[in-house]
Amino acid sequence: DFAKSKSLAQQRQYLPIFTVRDDLLQVVRENQVVVVVGETGSGKTTQLTQYLHEDGYTTTGIVGCTQPRRVAAMSVAKRVSEEMETELGDKVGYAIRFEDMTSSNTIIKYMTDGVLLRETLKDADLDKYRVIVMDEAHERSLNTDVLFGILKKVVARRRDFKLIVTSATLNADKFSKFFGGVPVFHIPGRTFPVNIMFSKTPCEDYVEAAVKQAMTIHITSGPGDILIFMTGQEEIEATCYALAERMEQLISSSTKTVPKLSILPIYSQLPADLQAKIFQKAEEGTRKCIVATNIAETSLTVDGIFYVIDTGYGKMKVYNPRMGMDVLQVFPVSRAAADQRAGRAGRTGPGTCYRLFTESAYQNEMLPNPVPEIQRTNLGNVVLLLKSLKVENLLDFDFMDPPPQENILNSMYQLWVLGALNNVGALTVIGWKMVEFPLDPTLAKMLLMGEQLECLDEVLTIVSMLSVPSVFFRPKDRAEESDAAREKFFVPESDHLTLLNVYLQWKSNQYRGDWCNDHFLHVKGLRKAREVRSQLLDILKTLKIPLTSCHMEWDVVRKAICSAYFHNAARLKGVGEYVNCRNGMPCHLHPSSALYGLGYTPDYVVYHELVLTTKEYMQCVTAVDPQWLAELGPMFFSVKETDTSLLDHKKRQKEDKTAMEEEME
Ligand code: ADP
Ligand code: MG
């Protein structure tokens, strides 16, 4: 109601940060670095930048604000452009990887921390920025942590530069100390009590438990929206589906009218127009039920939530030393995160949080604080970036919490394997080129190998397709139909080539949207891939790398694919079962892979990533020739002379094929 009856200007004045606006600006005027602490929803993200603008800082440069999450950068920029009554992309804009919504007019720029980090490569002093607000610093994302070290130097070099670090209620003193004891400014809170209900017993199936709880609230409790925390897209979709189903059953079996429930998912890969829905007020008499990842913990503030249902789990990227790679894994969240989640119910009035875990789990099993990303993930990109910034010895870099040495060494090893670092740990020519691309080292390597093997056109498409969410659309109620549609695109022995095939067919159908719908493909995903492709093409042009093509000679392309994934090469062990060549880790073919229904399984494959669900599944797989691994790869591939069954197999296959073709003629 508030959002409807009050103008945006009035809403701004109602925020807690408004009461301290002048004091805050005074502290900023008097100090080069300030840490600002406030509850979620107090107005830090949307107001600080505007206050700085109103106080004149934008006359001599841009006010930049970094976000660990893309969704937050986009949604907040949109909100602020509305509050300032300008078009998004004009005075207020945002930049995320592969998407720049700013112009020469832009004075307030929201961006992911990754974008700002890449900007430091081109402009070490960040001269175009007058102020940087490092928002959500408590999240301790990998890029934010690296930025801490880099911005500290900018602060020392540029007297005219200001830095504001904002944080939810944790870690503020640590941040202050890092910058030499700078002031910490507290925004007074305005929160309501939240009643916390723990589960009596550990819960077996939290999707089911959450759905049940939400339905109970909806039927028996007073007004107020519901927010459910899940771990990721699949679970969120499953939850939304189950909720909708339960509602339908209820409506058809009940004699009374059932109040409406508006079920709204939110996760980072959700298209922006659907994301925006969570902020819209539901119709009169309708309750909103938002099903979110931990994005709704602090990054996005949704008003009107009275009930929170917390599974107690979240997805985290962790480096698994045994596998030698990052895996997205489901973990219990920390106590601090659980408290943040509960707090979402107390923004508009007194609320309730239903925890689907026991009090004992909260007290004894959960960590007090989350582990910073820098201490748990692969540092490949960070190492490349810092090396290119001439930080020779990474252990000397000013990290707030240094990453474990083992992580640094592992990441350096992987870069060496890819040919980005030489034997003494310095960037090679390939390494220098890799830094130019806003891509993971793996995909950058694939591109550069495409250059070398003269199949860049093809590889560029594959890399672009791998940089967007899966384009395959698989509605639950039409699973068979969509699987059949997908199979039509299969290129035997390669999911990478299948992606290329999809793109090429879309192209030969004039990039049409209706064609995508007919073939169970997400048109938005494909359009995004096309955009990414054109941006990467621009970078290739500036590097004067010509767009060569091998005219779809599959083996040449597969060789380029192979060169990117030495660390993800696997050898056949049993039916559908592989082991990683380097460390013997088991990994499995996923039923959705083009290799699954071949009728045989290739002896050697490489894969894009490993996904842990019920098993370790390889995601996006291509069969490779073991010779290539030996030829292109480092020493750990000692493929025996005799071990060329894949080659034999392919010869056989070719013979079969020619025989068949002859017969057909
Ligand atoms: P903080 O950063 O301190 O958590 P924000 O500045 O994000 O606070 O939020 C302040 C207020 O602006 C909240 O009441 C929130 O609901 C509102 N708001 C933020 N983003 C949007 C949006 N995209 N649409 C509508 N309201 C929004
Ligand atoms: Mg915020």
Q: pLDDT per residue over 156-194, tens digit each?
A: 999 999 999 998 877 789 999 999 999 999 999 878 999
CA distance 225 to 214: 10
Q: Sign of the C-alpha dihedral, residues 341, 344, 350, 354? A: negative
The ipTM assigned to this model is 0.98
pLDDT tens-digit readout, 72-112: 999 999 999 999 999 999 999 999 999 999 999 999 999 99
pLDDT at 28 exceeding the cut of 80: yes
Q: Is the CB of 41 under 6 A from ligand 1?
A: yes
How many angstroms does the Cα of residue 608 sit away from the middle of ligand 2? 34
Q: What is the mean pLDDT of residues 354-371?
A: 93
Mean pLDDT of 8-15: 91
Which ligand lies nearest the alpha carbon of 302? 1
Asked whether the beta carbons of 586 and 616 are under 8 A apart, the reply is yes
pLDDT at site 318: 80
Ligand 1 within 6 A of 167 CB?
A: no
Per-residue confidence band for 648, with pLDDT thresholds at 50, 70 and 90? very low
64 pocket-lining for ligand 1 (C-beta < 6 Å):
no
Backbone angles phi, psi at 592, to 5 degrees: -85, 0
**Which of 46, 71, 275, when mutated, tests ligand 1's pocket best, judged by the most ligand atoms within 8 Å of its CB?**
46
Please identify, by atom number, the ligand 1 atom nearest to the C-alpha of residue 40. 4
Give the side-chain half-sphere CA count within 13 A for 72: 24
| Dist. CA 303 → ligand 1 center (Å) | 8
Residue 659: band (very low, low, confident or very high) from pLDDT cuts 50, 70, 90: very low
Separation of CA 164 and ligand 2 centre (Å): 13
CB distance 43 to ligand 1 below 6 Å: yes
| Cβ(15) – ligand 1 distance below 6 Å | yes
CA distance 248 to 246: 5
The DSSP call for residue 221 is S
pLDDT the model gives residue 294: 87
Spacing, Cα 41 to ligand 1 middle (Å): 6
Query: What phi and psi, each to the nearest 5 degrees, are found at residue 610?
Result: -105, 135
- Share the mean pLDDT of the chain: 89
Quick one: which atom of ligand 1 is closest to the CA of 135? 2
- Look at residue 321 in the predicted model and tell me its pLDDT: 59
More confident residue, 636 or 491: 491
Q: What is the pLDDT of residue 268?
A: 82
pLDDT band at 1 (very low <50, low <70, confident <90, very high): low
Q: Sorting pLDDT into bands at 50, 70 and 90, what band is 346? A: very high
Render pLDDT for 409-441 as a digit per residue (tens, 0 to 9): 888 988 998 999 998 899 999 999 999 999 999
Residue-wise pLDDT tens digits, 427-481: 999 999 999 999 999 999 999 999 999 999 999 999 999 998 889 998 888 999 9
How far is Cα 638 from Cα 12, in angstroms, rounded to an integer? 65
CA 291 to chain centre: 17
Q: Determine the Cα–Cα distance for residues 228 and 208; give it in Å rounded to an integer.
A: 12
Angle between helices 554-564 and 441-452 (to 10 degrees): 140
Q: 307 CB under 6 A from ligand 1? A: no
**Does the pLDDT at position 535 exceed 90?**
yes
Percent of the chain with pLDDT over 70: 93
Any idea which ligand is nearest the CA of 47? 1
Tokens describing residue 436: 């130019």
Where does the pLDDT of residue 636 fall: very low under 50, low under 70, confident under 90, or very high at 90 and above?
very low
Instruction: State the Cα–Cα distance between residues 347 and 340, nearest whole angstrom.
Output: 11
Mean pLDDT of 354-361: 96
Q: What is the pLDDT of residues 568-592, one digit of tens each?
A: 899 999 877 899 888 888 999 998 8
Helix H or strand E encompassing 12: helix 8-14
Summarised one tens digit per residue, pLDDT across range 299-322 is: 888 889 999 999 999 988 887 655
- When pLDDT is cut at 50, 70 and 90, the band that residue 324 belongs to is low
Residue nearest to atom 15 of ligand 1 (CA): 301
Q: Which atom of ligand 1 is nearest to the CA of 347?
A: 14
The C-alpha R_g of the chain, in whole angstroms, comes to 26
Q: Give one DSSP letter per residue of 471-491, joined into a string.
A: -B---GGGHHHHHHHHHTT-B
Q: Ligand 2 centre and the CA of 43: distance in Å?
A: 7
| pLDDT tens, position by position, 225-266 | 999 999 999 899 999 999 999 999 999 998 888 899 999 999
Is the C-beta atom of 132 inside 6 A of ligand 1? Answer: no
Predicted local distance difference test score (pLDDT) of residue 646: 35
Residue 662: is its pLDDT beyond 50? no
- Among the listed residues 436, 378, 401, 390, the one whose alpha carbon sits nearest the alpha carbon of residue 153: 390
pLDDT-based confidence at residue 273 (cuts at 50, 70, 90) = confident
User: Residue 659 phi/psi, 5° resolution?
Assistant: -60, -40
Distance (Å) from CA 141 to ligand 1 centroid? 21
Q: Is the CB of 231 under 6 A from ligand 1?
A: no
pLDDT band, very low/low/confident/very high, at 32 (cuts 50, 70, 90): very high
| Cα–Cα distance measured from residue 226 to residue 221, given in angstroms and rounded to the nearest whole number | 11
Predicted confidence (pLDDT) at residue 665 exceeds the cutoff of 70: no
**CA-closest residue to ligand 1 atom 13:** 41
Ligand 2 mean position to 468 CA, how many Å?
A: 26
> Which residue, judged by its Cα, is nearest atom 10 of ligand 1?
43
| Binding site membership of 40 for ligand 1 (Cβ less than 6 Å) | yes
Cα separation, 449 vs 430, in Å, equals: 10
Q: Say yes or no: CB of residue 120 within 6 Å of ligand 1.
A: no
* pTM to 2 decimal places: 0.86
The Cα–Cα gap between 426 and 138 comes to: 33
Among protein residues, the one whose CA lies closest to atom 22 of ligand 1 = 79
Q: How close is the Cα of 299 to the center of ligand 2, in Å?
A: 5
588-608 residue pLDDT tens? 999 889 998 787 889 999 999
The verdict on the CB of residue 46 being under 6 Å from ligand 1 is yes
